[in-house]
Structure 1
Amino acid sequence: MTQVGEGQEAEETAPPVMTFGAPTAGEILAERYELVEHINNDSAGRLVWRGVDVVLRRPVAVVLRYPGGDSATEMLQAAVAASRVIHPNLVGVYDAIDEDERAYVVREWVDGNSLREMVADGPLDPARATAIGNAVASALAAVHATGMVHGNVHPGTVMISDDGRVVLADARTDGADSQENDIRAVGGILYFALTGHWPHAEAPLRGATAGHGRAAIPDAVRDASGAIAAPRQVRAGVPAYLDDLTMDLLDAEIAPPSSDVLAAELARLDVPAEDHFLDQTGTIRFTADPGDDPSPLAAAGGRKVAVGIAGLLAVALVGLLIGISALGGDDKSPDTEPVARPSNSAPSSQASAPAPAVRKLNVEEVRIVDPDSRDRAEVRDAEKVIDGDEDEGWETQSYRNNGKFGGLKDGMGIWIDLGAPHTVKSVQVVLSSTDASAELLAGDADFPPSSAGDKQLKAAYTTRIGQPFEGHDGTKMTFNGFDADKTYRYLLFWITELPEKDSGDGWKLGVQEITVQGS
């Protein structure tokens, strides 16, 4: 596959910047990363190599430029920032090194194809496009939760592995980037996936220019005034709700939602294709039900889009039919529309009220859960994980033999009580060291603070939030796979494997701070 560096590939004839510091196959960087094969160059002159971490024996991608020094500052800063955010839909960043004559970033190798390559064979079906948009928005929500910006969302930096995992690669940071640009780029990703055309050619995002050699991406279909055609005008079979959402994200006159709200809405729409209801014309339609809960996108502002959940009383079809509710504000007059748009599938009287703003939720109580304890020695100091001080937290005892609590326990964790049910968007956990494994669970009840009560609690908490982290490479874990239609009061951060201490003195982990975001 083509492992992109940052943005699009350079033309095949693009000359190298210089020869001094040029890498060669078989060379080992930093006494650890062996260069195996030169894959491609990106539009910024960076070389992308397939390599091997000779210590951990795993494949890696090496994004290299020469010279290093000042010319590589932005690349290295972006890599360091990206390494702090761990999320299943973000490419893992392992290392960033400046050797003056050259600098390089070592990141996860992804076997698969970029979205640009995938769509080269034709536009994707709406369900697949929605799933990819959901993954990209979820990755951005994790990045934005830290206050950072990705700055390089483009069909070449969205990668789909052979096992179907969607990941976002190669963040950039500079003063021109903004979270709003990231969010609008999701609209571009949806548009590209649905049509095979890139809508940002006239005002491109960084790395998104549509005009060089093999990296060229067809511009969007435009009318005489330069306004882009909606996906439904380019191809048949695009659902009205997805068409409206895509065009709203691309409309500079409509304020976009936050990335976590967008991720939650796309998660509602990310339904298996066999669960979609097709009307007689073949177009996917979603019926609005006035009694349904409002969509999170109601707070974003914009056109009124139908939403709801309609039960289908049929023997063979029972589907969860989800749409998008009002983006708020008045509909635009037809006279001001640059391109004809399909009519909305629900009257404006069904527009839902604005959703509450996302904020840091108050945690009423935390408790250490240790089902296999004998002396309850590790259940103290739980309150330190919510005191706002990342320098002080709770930690396990040291264990011998291996990272799974010395074979003495299946795990232990921290129980969180929000005091009342809330709509939860994300939970961020700051740890004392890397290489830990953990998951986030949800439950419906409290149990006595004892070994017996902890056993009952762990057995009852069976709802997993998002994906578990296995030996993760950072000190922050962000869980944002919450159901936007549900509320949560009780959560359990469950540690399954401890990292080895640098001193070699057993296995141990500290939890420095836990933050819950929601409404």
Structure 2
Amino acid sequence: MPSSAGPSIDKITEGGRVTQVGEGQDADETTPPVMTFGAPTAGEVLAERYELVEHINNDSAGRLVWRGVDVVLRRPVAVVMRYPGGDSATEMLQAAVAASRVIHPNLVGVYDAIDEDERAYVVREWVDGQSLREMVTSGPLDAGRATAVGNAVASALAAVHATGMVHGNVHPGTVMISDDGRVVLADARTDGADSQESDVRAVGGLLYFALTGHWPHTEAPLRGATAGHGRAAIPDAVRDAGGAAAAPRQVRAGVPAYLDDLTMDLLDGEVAPPSSDVLAAELARLDVPDEDYLDNSGPLRFAAETGDEPSPLAAAGGRKVALGIAGLLVVALVGLLVGISALGGDEENPQAEPVAAPSSSAPATEEPPTPTVRNLKISDARIIDPDSRDRAEVRDAEKVFDGNQDEGWSTQTYRNSSNFGNLKRGMGVWIDLGGEHNVRSVQVNLSTPGASAELLTGTAVAPSSETGDEQILTAFLKNRIGQPFEEHDGTTMTFNGFDADQKYRYLLFWITDLPQSNGGYKLGVQEITVQGS
């Protein structure tokens, strides 16, 4: 097939190109290339769909990374390839399949994973920009940018961990910052050597690196790389005589105390780390305004939470962060008192009247506080079943929001997987929030893994009948939230693709394929939780 897509890709990537790493690092410059059967060539089309345009680099695991184009959908892609395929590519393909089932704005999308024996390759999203490793080569990041990156990665890990999976490959090379400010995490591993805790501690390593330009982990500066060697290397942290890494504030002036404490707590093996979702919530709380930082939709906007709820990380045992924030409040209060005292008179004009303190009855002029994210109350729910006249499966909808995950609503048992598709287009749970709200996420707990489903929204309201359900489905199918889950390998689905500027009242969790269960095909929805403000 001719490489006619090449010019369009060049136009798309004009102005910057990220190192589309497989393991997040370039191969050692001294490593000789290994040529064998299955080596790709520019212009070649893989699987009759993915045209190879340009070889970008080789990663430390010996995989080739190419810039390509999906000639069917006409979009740029990254192709991560190793040859030969077969058993040697099993781990890479398994990791890609698992990663493809987690949809999150801070995770690189995985489109395809193919094994052709003589070679195997993973096709994933192409990101225009640069890796965190490349970005920091020009100098450490300020506190606002470092916190934004840490928050994005922690949010991505929370989505991965919610499925029971582990990423296992979090470091500056697998974190990419696109030209439009989006931060994404790429290239999960499933080699069994890591845990969710090590993922969380790796965020501490990222914060340390972003703030100092040094890597704090002594056991492995990077997978396949040695500190101080090769272009993949990252300088090792400054250490004391005992080998302990110096705190970021000791390496670089101007690092805020709370961020320094949080980073060192995450790196301290004696301090139990929080879960990834708690860490993401704590990083989101930090009010570190940086108007020059790239604007980004999603979890990279920072505003301090002003409600009465305590810091999630402080509640989980993050002692240093809580003390750091308290210290800042004390300093701010002292400064305010000093300022009020200074307004009491004018040294150059002793006769000047003292400035009166503002009346307590004066209207507040400060901006309203950022709403606290909380669980939203579901006021009503019902089962949507537009392709059934007997209405046998529309009972028990109230059990999906009763707070008890041990019981819920379930479909009937179908004889085979195609039966659901042949008899029905699907079934769903329609929920009413009782009023319009800003929605952050929807989490659905299921009885069995392997289901396919999506989240829809709309404004249509109709009676609970075959005709009414058809009206709701037709209207809601026009508005999908995020990406659908296909044969999801977990029992929790989390949907995050809500528009922050839009309010929502009605949502529809729509099931399109049932998993196998007890000799047939059946699915239960145990609980639906909506978070927002």
Aligned residue for 1:255, secondary structure, equals: coil
Structure 1: distance between partners of 2:254 and 2:411: 50
**Are 2:70 and 1:56 equivalent residues in the alignment?**
no
How many angstroms apart in 1 are the aligned matches of 2:366 and 2:377?
41
Alignment partner of 1:367 out of 365, 369, 382: 382
Q: Distance in 1 between matches of 2:317 and 2:72?
A: 51
CA contact (8 A) 2:85 2:116 kept: yes
Q: How does 1:296-335 map to 2 (within 5 A)?
A: 296-304=312-320, 305-306=322-323, 307=325
1:105 to 112, 122, 140: 122
SS at match of 1:12: coil
Q: Aligned AA for 2:142?
A: D
Return closer, same or farther for 1:192/1:468 CA change in 2, 3 Å cut-off.
Answer: farther
2:146·2:210 contact (CA, 8 Å) conserved in 1? yes
The answer to whether the 8 Å contact 1:264/1:296 transfers is yes
Query: 3-state SS of the aligned residue for 1:214?
Result: coil
> What secondary structure, in the 3-state scheme, does the structure 2 residue paired with 1:63 have?
strand
Give the Cα–Cα distance (whole angstroms) in 2 for the partners of residues 180 and 440 of structure 1: 39
Work out which of the residue numbers 209, 218, 228 in structure 2 matches 1:201. Answer: 218
Match in the other structure for 1:252: 269
Which amino acid letter does the alignment assign opposite residue 193 of structure 1? A
- Alpha-carbon distance in 2 for matches of 1:382, 1:108: 41
Quote how far apart the aligned CAs of 1:20 are: 0.9
Q: What per-residue deviation string (whole Å, max 9, x for no partner) do you get for residues 401-432 of structure 1?
A: xxxxxxxxxxx9721679xxxx9986148896
- Which residue among 407, 410, 431 is the counterpart of 1:415? 431
The yes-or-no answer on 1:42 pairing with 2:59 is: yes
Q: 1:132 aligns with which of 149, 160, 168?
A: 149
Do the aligned partners of 2:380 and 2:432 also contact (CA within 8 Å) in 1?
yes
TM-score normalised according to structure 1 size: 0.67
Equivalent residue letter for 2:381: V
Give secondary structure in 1 for the equivalent of 2:31. Answer: coil
Give the distance between the partners of 1:470 and 1:198, measured in 2 at CA. Answer: 35
Alignment partner of 2:177 out of 160, 175, 199: 160
Superposed displacement of residue 71, structure 1 = 0.6
Name the CA shift for 1:255/1:492 in 2 (closer, same or farther; >3 Å).
farther
- For normalisation by structure 2, the TM-score amounts to 0.66
Distance 1:52 1:429, change over 3 A: farther
Cα deviation, residue 236, structure 1:
1.7
Matched, 1:177 2:165: no
Q: In 2 relative to 1, CA 388–424 (structure 1 residues): closer, same or farther, beyond 3 Å?
A: farther
Q: Contact 2:287–2:304 at 8 Å: present in 1 too?
A: no
The residue identity in structure 2 corresponding to 1:126 is A
Alignment deviations for residues 255-282 of structure 1 (CA, whole Å, 9 cap, x no partner)? 100011111111111553369xxxxxxx
Mark the CA change 1:392 to 1:424 in structure 2 (over 3 Å): closer, same or farther: farther
Q: Is the 8 A contact 2:285 2:304 kept in 1?
A: no
Name the stretch that deviates more: 204-213 or 223-232: 204-213
Give, in whole Å, the separation in 1 of the partners of 2:134 and 2:252.
Answer: 19
Partner of 1:493: 507
1:278-327 residue CA offsets vs partner (Å, 9 max, x unmatched): xxxxxxxx9999x94221113433534234797999999769699xxxxx
2:25 corresponding residue in structure 1: 8
| 3-state DSSP of counterpart to 1:180 | helix
Q: Is the 8 A contact 1:3 1:48 kept in 2?
A: yes
* Structure 2 residue ranges without an equivalent (≥5): 1-16, 293-302, 337-357, 359-363, 401-407, 415-419, 473-478, 499-503, 514-521
Q: Helix, strand or coil: the match of 2:24?
A: coil
Write the letter of the residue equivalent to 2:122.
V
Letter in 2 for 1:177: D
CA–CA distance in 2 between the matches of 1:152 and 1:450? Answer: 48
Residue 118 of structure 1 aligns to a residue whose secondary structure is: helix
What residue number does 2:355 align with?
A: none
Matched, 1:225 2:242: yes
Matched, 1:121 2:138: yes
CA–CA distance in structure 1, aligned partners of residues 44 and 213 of structure 2: 39
Structure 1, unpaired ranges of 5+: 276-285, 323-357, 400-411, 442-446, 459-466, 483-489, 502-509
1:268 match? 285
How many residue pairs get matched?
Answer: 421
Larger radius of gyration: 2
- Measure, in 2, the Cα distance between the counterparts of 1:169 and 1:236: 31
